[in-house]
A and B are shown apart, each in its own frame.
Chain A
Amino acid sequence: MLTPEEVKRFIITTLQVSGASYRQVDEDLLLAEVTVEIPPLFFDPARLEKHTLNLVFTPEAGAVYPGSELVVPGSYRLNWFLEGIKERGNYTLQRFSYEFQPAKTQQEIEELLPAVRQDFFLQAPSFQMRPYLGANYTLSYRTDELREELVSPGLDMVSGEVIPNFFELLAAAPAIPGAPEEGVEQQRYTLEQAFALLHNYLQEIVQAKDPLWVEEARTRYEEELYCLYQYYQEDNRDTNDFKSRAHELYDKFRPRVLARLVNLGLLYLPEVIYSAPSPTGKERPTLRYSPLLKKVEGIGSNSPK
């Protein structure tokens, strides 16, 4: 559950992103000027209107500022903001920077891989940007009840690997709008293939889930079905009617998982690539370090483990 402070921060961020003007009068009161679309009414067309909102975030503050509107989790006004922001942030194209410092980077790698060969660090590394497709999905677990979760995987467009909680890893990273102009690793997966992999991943999540929600729904379904049967077991009842109602019950209780895309990002993350001398004289072993994902791969060869 959000605290009042978290609610306020969310509102302020929303106002900033939308470019709406606002003023924090004090700790408790936030004034905001927002543009509202008034729907068409009879012969009046739709129009935009500016409204001033006086927002408070605790009931105590509401008592101090009469006429203010209380914004709390579940309130109409918070939902209004949540609905309003749905028009923004649907697609993004970003690249991320990384400040390379040899010693620091080496230390980071050694923390992830203590047994790393030291000869990787004898030469200066190269740098490239690796493309990722990051997506936020809501998964709705539906029977006659509903539970939802947000899933935020990222797909490595080169290796096809899915990184769970992708955006958590990037939350504090400095993002720069637009794709890099050079040094981009060639992606091996098309967008169609990438989506297919992401959707497989979503299905794996669903399959791995504790099946209790399904079992409970099935129990409720069978209880209802048994009750229905009691009524229809008399001779003169219409069996087609029974079938129809039984199907109705099944529709009500059957488990479904509905996946809906929230938003999508094409993101380019920096990679630091080390190579070491090859003992056989053939292919040089490479080590790829993704500093934002805190991931090391490809030790001894170019291909991912």
Chain B
Amino acid sequence: MKSFLTTESEFSPQFELLTNPGEMITGIHRQQWDSWEAFLLRARAASLSLFTGFNDQLLVNTYLQERWRQAGLVPYEHQEATVKRVIGELRGRAILADEVGLGKTIEAGMIIKEYTLRGLAKKILILTPASLCRQWAAELSQKFALYPVLAKGDFNWERYELVIASLDLAKQEKHRRVIEELYYDLLVVDEAHKLKNPSTRNWQLVSRIRKKFFLLLTATPLQNDLKELFNLISLLRPGQLGSYRHFRKNFMEDKRTAKNPEELRSLISRVMIRNKRGPQINLPARKVATMPLTPSPKEIELYQKITNFVRAQYRKKEKAAVNPLTLLTLQREVCSSSFAAATTLCKLSQKAGEEEAVKILSLMELGGSLQENTKMNLVDEILTHLGEEKVIIFTEFLATQQYIHARLKRKGIPALTFDGSMSASKKDFTLGRFRRDPAYRVLICTESGGEGVNLQFCRTMINYDLPWNPMRLEQRIGRIHRLGQTREVFVYNLVTQGTIEEHLLKLLLEKVRLFEVVIGNLQKIITCFGKEKSFESRIMGALVAAETEAELTRNLEILGAEILEKLESPPALTIDTLL
């Protein structure tokens, strides 16, 4: 390190003349003289544009005041405080780790704009998941008068000053080589919890990019173990937590238990800012209604036969003709719609042996004989009750989405669909249309379509089916119940009686207490169940082990008790326990 400590002369100011004297002389010879008044005014303008040093005032607030006033946008206090802290105390390198929905993108946008207004950042790169590139571009242009270029194909990285790119694109060899040669004033990486392993190309790319200021955005900086936290923070500011040897010795009891928490907290808080929901950050209330429905006799028959088939196959374990994940999907699909189940059954029939194929075909025939699903009757009722209110209907499955869309169309209710297979421009167009066109009251979203998208202009949601992972359900609701939502939010959960859905919702409501918005608890539950036995597979296990409804109820009560025990146990390893 000694060779890098500088001498006085190495650190003395280097004078650079940015205007070429030759150009100045040419300008004089051209004799494009202007008036004395214009000359003095030009100098006056230059003096008014000077940046005369850091103080506590953010330039971005004054600069964008009019724009925000017209857009009805007011930055929250916690956002302003974050921006000031990042630019001041944290010297432009920070992990923005606010809880989901508290406006990390806004904070990042404010920081980007502040640095550009202060003349400290010109060449800026934003790396995000591909699905969020356009959303970032829209937010930056609408709210911050920043006009980024979206990188795609054979992109000229040198040419553009403000660029948004997906990490997947940037890490491709031909792009990586170019990016690593450039120097960025500011690098922003969204969903940075994907950067926890130094052996991945993602981590290596981000680490090698040369940059002055650096922001990492993630709502979940710590998910499973302390080493990942070390890697993330070392990406931002290597040495903040010392060497890994030092860190392990001083701060890790084991990979999931911290020691010297006070000191560790102090070190983390010097590079990370985490805002959480609480008295100072208020969202409007969310109101949740459980809408039970009684299925038709044929739907009951289909459900029971499929459940029996799934149960039988699951118990065969290695000898099963069907992969357990497929069985899990099939079980979830039959709770969603007969159409979703039919899709998987069709695929299974093509691969199954003779004996199984007969069973599967008979299930397909039964499913195919159902032209309508009772759940849609309930959706009709809800939509009628809601009048002109815009509604988002969430479903896990494309086939269900298509059915809902067709059914609404037959009823004369124009609806839009939104799913992960859509191109970015189509997604933008669809969302814009849903937002602005009063003719389209309903947006039918699948899980992947809704990822990261902000829909807080809408306040009503129908969960046509329930994901078995409570975090995913919370993420759905987070599309509308987030900062920027000004109205009460209404969530309708459709629940088919006599199915696993009914039990699941009971579990989520009573044990997980999902809808009480205790994000920390959700994290705890998911973390505790770990990777091997995920929450979904525990539910499946409970279903498969039961022969009767009573047994199923009992099995899920045991799971529920386990959840409660974990919630009440000493806190698991989360960033909130560390901070």
- Give residues in A with beta carbon < 8 Å to B: 2, 10, 13-14, 16-17, 69-70, 72-79, 81-82, 85-86, 88-94, 136, 138, 140-141, 144-150, 152, 167, 171, 175, 177, 191-192, 195-196, 199, 202-203, 206, 214, 217-218, 220-222, 224-234, 244-246, 248, 250-252, 254-266
Residues of A within 8 A of B493 (CB): none
Interface contacts beyond A227-B237, A257-B16: sample of 18 additional A-B pairs, CB < 8 Å, sorted by A: A16-B37, A70-B65, A73-B62, A76-B66, A85-B38, A89-B35, A89-B41, A146-B51, A177-B35, A191-B24, A191-B28, A195-B24, A202-B15, A227-B238, A234-B244, A256-B16, A263-B39, A263-B46
**6 nearest A-B residue pairs (beta carbon):** A89-B42, A74-B62, A231-B238, A89-B38, A230-B239, A227-B239
Residues of A within 8 A of B538 (CB): none
Residues of B within 8 A of A175 (CB): 36
Is chain B's binding surface mostly helix, strand, loop or mixed? mixed
Determine if B145 is an interface residue (Cβ-Cβ < 8 Å).
Answer: yes
One of A94, A252, A261 near B212 (C-beta < 8 A): A252
- B66 to nearest A CB, angstroms? 6
Q: Which residue of chain B has the shortest Cβ distance to A39 in the bound complex?
A: B147
- A198 to nearest B CB, angstroms? 9
Docked complex: B25-64 residues within 8 A CB-CB of A: 25, 27-28, 30-54, 59, 62-64
- A249 to nearest B CB, angstroms? 8
One of A14, A69, A89 near B66 (C-beta < 8 A): A69
A149 touches B34 (CB 8 A): no
One of B31, B43, B118 near A150 (C-beta < 8 A): B43
One of A85, A93, A224, A259 near B19 (C-beta < 8 A): A259
B246 touches A75 (CB 8 A): no
- B130 to nearest A CB, angstroms? 24
Determine if B6 is an interface residue (Cβ-Cβ < 8 Å).
Answer: yes
- A79 to nearest B CB, angstroms? 7
B212 touches A251 (CB 8 A): yes
Residues of B within 8 A of A70 (CB): 65-66
A233 touches B50 (CB 8 A): no
Determine if B17 is an interface residue (Cβ-Cβ < 8 Å).
Answer: yes
State in angstroms the CA–CA spacing of A233 and B246 once bound together: 11
Q: Which residue of chain B has the shortest Cβ distance to A190 in the bound complex?
A: B25
Given the interface pairs A69-B66, A261-B24, the reply to whether A218 lies near B11 with Cβ below 8 Å is yes
Residues of A within 8 A of B42 (CB): 85-86, 88-90, 136, 262-263
State in angstroms the CA–CA spacing of A76 and B239 once bound together: 40
State in angstroms the CA–CA spacing of A13 and B243 once bound together: 60
Residues of B within 8 A of A147 (CB): 51-53
Residues of A within 8 A of B48 (CB): 2, 10, 73, 78, 82
State in angstroms the CA–CA spacing of A206 and B6 once bound together: 20
Given the interface pairs A250-B4, A255-B13, the reply to whether A145 lies near B39 with Cβ below 8 Å is no
Q: Which residue of chain B has the shortest Cβ distance to A71 in the bound complex?
A: B66
Most chain-A CB neighbours within 10 Å: which of B1, B12, B246? B1
- A190 to nearest B CB, angstroms? 9
State in angstroms the CA–CA spacing of A266 and B25 once bound together: 11
State in angstroms the CA–CA spacing of A257 and B18 once bound together: 10
State in angstroms the CA–CA spacing of A244 and B5 once bound together: 14
One of B5, B65, B242 near A231 (C-beta < 8 A): B242
11 contacting pairs across A/B (C-beta < 8 A) = A85-B38, A88-B38, A136-B42, A136-B43, A148-B52, A225-B5, A244-B208, A251-B212, A258-B16, A262-B43, A263-B46
A140 touches B11 (CB 8 A): no
State in angstroms the CA–CA spacing of A148 and B49 once bound together: 9
State in angstroms the CA–CA spacing of A123 and B485 once bound together: 86
B33 touches A245 (CB 8 A): no
B18 touches A258 (CB 8 A): yes
One of B28, B39, B46 near A138 (C-beta < 8 A): B46
A79 touches B63 (CB 8 A): yes
Given the interface pairs A82-B48, A92-B33, the reply to whether A266 lies near B19 with Cβ below 8 Å is no
Determine if B92 is an interface residue (Cβ-Cβ < 8 Å).
Answer: yes
Determine if B78 is an interface residue (Cβ-Cβ < 8 Å).
Answer: no
State in angstroms the CA–CA spacing of A93 and B32 once bound together: 9
Residues of B within 8 A of A220 (CB): 91
Q: Residues 261-281 of chain B: 1 if any A CB is under 8 Å from the residue's CB, otherwise 0?
A: 000000000000000000000
Given the interface pairs A136-B43, A245-B238, A255-B13, the reply to whether A150 lies near B50 with Cβ below 8 Å is yes
One of A74, A192, A226, A228 near B63 (C-beta < 8 A): A74
Residues of A within 8 A of B91 (CB): 144, 220
Given the interface pairs A146-B120, A250-B4, A255-B13, the reply to whether A92 lies near B39 with Cβ below 8 Å is yes
Given the interface pairs A17-B38, A258-B18, A259-B18, the reply to whether A141 lies near B24 with Cβ below 8 Å is no
Determine if B67 is an interface residue (Cβ-Cβ < 8 Å).
Answer: yes
Residues of A within 8 A of B67 (CB): 76
Given the interface pairs A85-B41, A91-B32, the reply to whether A150 lies near B13 with Cβ below 8 Å is no
Given the interface pairs A191-B28, A221-B6, the reply to whether A228 lies near B239 with Cβ below 8 Å is yes
Most chain-B CB neighbours within 10 Å: which of A206, A218, A263? A263
State in angstroms the CA–CA spacing of A224 and B4 once bound together: 11
Docked complex: B155-202 residues within 8 A CB-CB of A: 183
State in angstroms the CA–CA spacing of A245 and B6 once bound together: 15
- A60 to nearest B CB, angstroms? 15
A228 touches B37 (CB 8 A): no
Given the interface pairs A171-B40, A192-B21, A254-B11, the reply to whether A89 lies near B34 with Cβ below 8 Å is yes
- A223 to nearest B CB, angstroms? 10
Residues of A within 8 A of B145 (CB): 76
Determine if B432 is an interface residue (Cβ-Cβ < 8 Å).
Answer: no
B37 touches A93 (CB 8 A): no
Determine if B531 is an interface residue (Cβ-Cβ < 8 Å).
Answer: no
Residues of B within 8 A of A206 (CB): 13, 15
Residues of A within 8 A of B27 (CB): 90-91, 264
B65 touches A75 (CB 8 A): yes
One of B14, B40, B118, B240 near A255 (C-beta < 8 A): B14
- A204 to nearest B CB, angstroms? 10
Given the interface pairs A86-B42, A214-B11, A231-B234, the reply to whether A177 lies near B53 with Cβ below 8 Å is no
One of B11, B13, B92 near A141 (C-beta < 8 A): B13
State in angstroms the CA–CA spacing of A261 and B5 once bound together: 34
State in angstroms the CA–CA spacing of A63 and B183 once bound together: 46
Residues of A within 8 A of B237 (CB): 224, 227
Q: Which residue of chain A has the shortest Cβ distance to B16 in the bound complex?
A: A258
Residues of B within 8 A of A74 (CB): 59, 62-63
State in angstroms the CA–CA spacing of A175 and B300 once bound together: 96
B239 touches A82 (CB 8 A): no
B21 touches A260 (CB 8 A): no
Most chain-B CB neighbours within 10 Å: which of A91, A221, A225, A234? A91
B38 touches A92 (CB 8 A): yes
Determine if B119 is an interface residue (Cβ-Cβ < 8 Å).
Answer: yes
A233 touches B243 (CB 8 A): yes
- A34 to nearest B CB, angstroms? 15
- A90 to nearest B CB, angstroms? 7
